[in-house]
Chain A
Amino acid sequence: MQAVQRFGLWAGGAGALALAIGAAIAPDRAAANLLLASWALAGAGLAGAFFVALSYAADATWVIAFRRVPESMTRALPVAAIGLALVFLLRPSLYPWTHEPVGAPGSFTRLWLSLPFFLTRAIVYFATWMLFAAALVRNSRRQDRDGDLAWTRRNRRLSAAFLVVFALTCFLASVDWIMSLTPHWYSTMFGVHNFAGLFQSGLAIMILLVVWLRESGPLRHVVTDEHLHDLGKLLFAFATFWMYIWFSQYMLIWYANLTEETVYFLPRMRGGWLPLAMVNIALNWVVPFLAIMNRPFKRQAAVLAKVAVAVLVGRWLDLYLMILPSVAPDAPPFGAWEAGGALLAAGAFVAAWVWMFRQAAPVPAQDPYLPESLHYHS
């Protein structure tokens, strides 16, 4: 496991180095790729916190056997905060509204899209997420000592509050950090689209980690095909949800055909971007939909892991299609900066995750509901 962490650090370091060089040569593209990597990391951390909160709030005990996996995913949040801080402080001009103010003077839009308020909001979002995530994880780890049911009750209350806060802040953060790259365009589906991608890819990460931990030891005989089956069901469901939301956003804009709305999709459906948009749909929806529709395939670690990899590549592409056309509208760029950003996100995530996972027992052995999870039938 330490070897994997070292590998993650090296990969993340190489990616960071590539982006640092990129910052000198092609600053906008480097900043856009750092934004992509950081938002992907924030998404992974949020997906972990959301999954834990959802399971507490719904009394979903099947999760407990591998709960340390999503718990440790929340360590991606501070890493993402660093990356986003670098983008916002070193390259705010990535956002067109920093040099061409949007909205009439004194209007709400002008106030909302002003750098000081923008930065304050970012701090508030991250502080909220990290406080909730830290509290959930701390209560779960304290239960390892005494097995007191009070920790579960406390986390259930905390989770209910977090779910409400998360719905609001996740929506606003995606509007702030991604949608405002095209400040004259807005879509009320945008936050939902980002949530769908975030949770779908979070499930794919969980599947990969759970399969790996089952093969390599810590979760052997703990995680069964039943747990994989349910993770597979969720991945299948949220792949379809992602497609549903993606299409809902696209179809309304296509049908209304209004200039201020189509401005987002036109550059993303032209030239080299169109095939990428098709691949995006194929990876995020067609592959998972066809590959794990049938029950036996949701229970096979090898099939699930391959689908999860496809979904993660799709996640990168989905974010790429949201962010990069604002920087390079003519043709989709792919080079050292894009590869560096992807490497940074993957490496930093793995290193942060392993670091946090090793701090606590791999299975919350004192959780009073653990036996229910171990004998779970999906």
Chain B
Amino acid sequence: MSRHVFLGIFEDEADIVAAAGESRARGFDIVDAFTPYAVHGLDRAMGLAPSWLPWACAALGAAGLAFATWFQFWTTARSWPINVGGRPWNSLPAFVPVMFELMVLSAGVGVVLTFLIARRLGPWRTPDIVDPRVTHDRFVLVLDAGASDPRVVRRLFADHRAVAFEERDMEGRP
């Protein structure tokens, strides 16, 4: 699915944040923003909804915790009860370190994998970089062209010291 878009290329993070804020205020559809590093406040300026990843992280953590609890109970108290120095079969305090570690492992690794899968990222993917310099020192704001007048958008970007303006067709999500 190809999409007709406008690109504003900026040299400073403050400019792209301001441009994104004004674009949203004037009702343009912001497709995405590309920056060399995480820019504080850009998510709010773009009006991004809060990510659902923290909930995935919490759920994965709870799953890891539940699995570790059940597995240790099953191995040491049920399937093959082991007497360790006369401790109770179900020695819950002794299980806690493993429960904790598996919770952290499951939440930490799980949320990274969830992110990679959700964004379909991986070594097989050839990135379609919107402008090679976004990996270095340029900030790119992408607006959906829709029925907007390119001159209006060019003016908006220029007001925020954009160094270049482009109009192009983009394939899917970059």
Contacts and interface: CB of A to CB of B under 8 A. Distances in A.
A262 B41 CA distance: 52
A251 B94 contact: yes
Contact of B93 (A255, A293, A295): A255
B97 interface: yes
Given A294-B54, A295-B54, A377 B93 contact: no
Contacts of A295: 50, 54
Interface string B35-60: 00000110000000010001000100
Range class of the A interface residue count: 10 to 19
Contact of A255 (B41, B50, B54, B94): B94
B93 A251 contact: yes
Interface string A247-262: 1001100110100000
Contacts of A247: 93, 96
Nearest to A247: B96
Interface in B64-81: none
Interface residues of B, number: 12
B76 to A, nearest CB: 13
Interface in A235-250: 247, 250
A251 B92 CA distance: 10
A266 B89 CA distance: 21
A251 B54 contact: no
Contacts of A293: 58
B93 A254 contact: yes
A377 B41 contact: yes
A293 B59 CA distance: 13
A254 B94 CA distance: 9
B40 A377 contact: yes
A88 to B, nearest CB: 36
A226 to B, nearest CB: 9
A26 to B, nearest CB: 36
Contacts of A254: 93-94
A273 to B, nearest CB: 18
A251 B40 contact: no
A250 B93 contact: yes
A16 B157 CA distance: 67
A114 to B, nearest CB: 37
Interface in B119-139: none
A114 B85 CA distance: 39
Considering residues B41, B58, B87, B93, which has the most beta carbons from chain A within 10 angstroms of its beta carbon?
B93
A251 B41 contact: no
Interface in B89-133: 91, 93-94, 96-97
B89 to A, nearest CB: 15
Contacts of A255: 87, 91, 93-94
Nearest to A251: B93
6 contacts: A250-B93, A251-B93, A251-B97, A257-B85, A294-B54, A377-B40
Interface of A: 247, 250-251, 254-255, 257, 293-295, 377
Given A251-B94, A257-B85, 5 more contacts: A247-B93, A251-B97, A254-B94, A255-B91, A255-B93
Interface of B: 40-41, 50, 54, 58, 85, 87, 91, 93-94, 96-97
Shortest 7 CB-CB contacts between residues of A and residues of B = A377-B40, A251-B93, A254-B93, A377-B41, A255-B94, A251-B96, A247-B96
